[in-house]
Amino acid sequence: RELEVALRFALEHDEFVLHYQPKVDLVSGKIEGFEALLRWERPGHGLLFPGAFIPALEETGLIVLVGKWVIGEACRQIGVWMRGGIGPVRVAVNVSGRQFVEGDLYGNVTQAIHRNAIRSDLLELEITESSLMENTELTVAILQNLRKAGVTVSIDDFGTGYSSLAYLRRFPINKLKIDMSFIRDVTSNVDDASIVLAIISMAHSLHLQVVAEGVETAEQLRYLREHECDQMQGYYFSRPVPATGVEQMLYDGK
Ligand code: G
Ligand code: G
Ligand code: NA
Ligand code: MN
């Protein structure tokens, strides 16, 4: 209750910020884009991570308003980088299942793109496999419209939500992100390795790109590259950083 009041206040007083974690192309070694991750600069509490407040946002339904803010902020930042000489930067935002059911996700996205005069393909939406499994019909219909508008769509935390192959074929998506729980021991656990290899081959047969999450070691990186995973994201390359860190990273050509 107290947290809910503080979260409403935070939204109205600009206490939320986005940090950005790069996704790296495993062939070229170049940064392909960034995932925007929500942070709360709560006065007197320091920088809070999603684990401390996303559950409350979900329970209270505030995630719909905060999710709209995230989309607007990501598009604003893409526009600033575009016009500030940094160039086109791809940004992926996390979208809660509630944003498809309540709120006007399609309107929020298209408005933010137009208002900031950015290319629609620079915005990517990440939706978890499990939220895609709820309200599937409605979610798929909205995603189809977003794809028509030129937005990129990824399934997040893939492998944890038990979607069937038949489902996957129907989803209007561009990418699968393999959940980091399968990447952790991919070089030592044969079961995890088989799951990862199966996901990569299934994704490629459906013409989807595959991103490995939570890559922390050179061994994992080498394994994924050898097995033709397309992109990786993880602490091995970079932790999530503030917007100024993105500029530095792109400037360094890292
Ligand atoms: O950095 P990490 O602690 O950043 O994020 C933890 C979890 O919070 C992840 O599962 C991530 O998908 C989720 N998350 C981060 N930012 C957002 C956001 O803007 N919206 C939603 N719905 N989830 C987010
Ligand atoms: O659910 P989602 O995939 O959006 O969550 C991303 C979460 O994973 C964020 O909390 C992010 O900070 C965290 N993360 C990103 N890279 C790594 C990594 O290499 N190792 C670990 N342990 N966590 C990571
Ligand atoms: Na995500
Ligand atoms: Mn994920």
Domain boundaries, the chain: 2-251
Residue having the nearest C-alpha atom to atom 12 of ligand 2: 240
DSSP letters along the chain, please? -HHHHHHHHHHHTT-EEEEEEEEEETTT--EEEEEEEEEEEETTTEEEPGGGTHHHHHHHSTHHHHHHHHHHHHHHHHHHHHHTTS----EEEEE-THHHHSS-HHHHHHHHHHHTT--GGGEEEEEEHHHHTSSHHHHHHHHHHHHHTT-EEEEEEETSS---HHHHHHS--SEEEE-HHHHTTTTT-HHHHHHHHHHHHHHHHTT-EEEE----SHHHHHHHHHTT--EE-STTT---B-HHHHHHHHHTT-
What pLDDT, in 10s, does the model give residues 119-132? 999 999 999 988 88
Atom of ligand 1 at shortest range from CA of 240: 1
What pLDDT, in 10s, does the model give residues 226-245? 999 999 999 999 999 999 99
Atom of ligand 2 at shortest range from CA of 177: 3
What pLDDT, in 10s, does the model give residues 64-101? 999 999 999 999 999 999 999 999 999 999 999 999 99
Task: Categorize the per-residue pLDDT at 1 as very low, low, confident or very high, splitting at 50, 70 and 90.
Answer: confident
Tell me, using a 6 A CB cutoff, whether residue 124 lines ligand 2: no
CATH architecture of the domain with residue range 2-251: Alpha-Beta Barrel (3.20)
Residue having the nearest C-alpha atom to atom 22 of ligand 1: 96
The pLDDT score that the predictor gives to residue 254 is: 53
Residue having the nearest C-alpha atom to atom 24 of ligand 1: 94
Residue having the nearest C-alpha atom to atom 1 of ligand 1: 37
Ligand 1 pocket by Cβ (under 6 Å): 37-38, 49-51, 54, 63, 67, 70, 93-94, 96, 240
Reported ipTM: the value is: 0.97
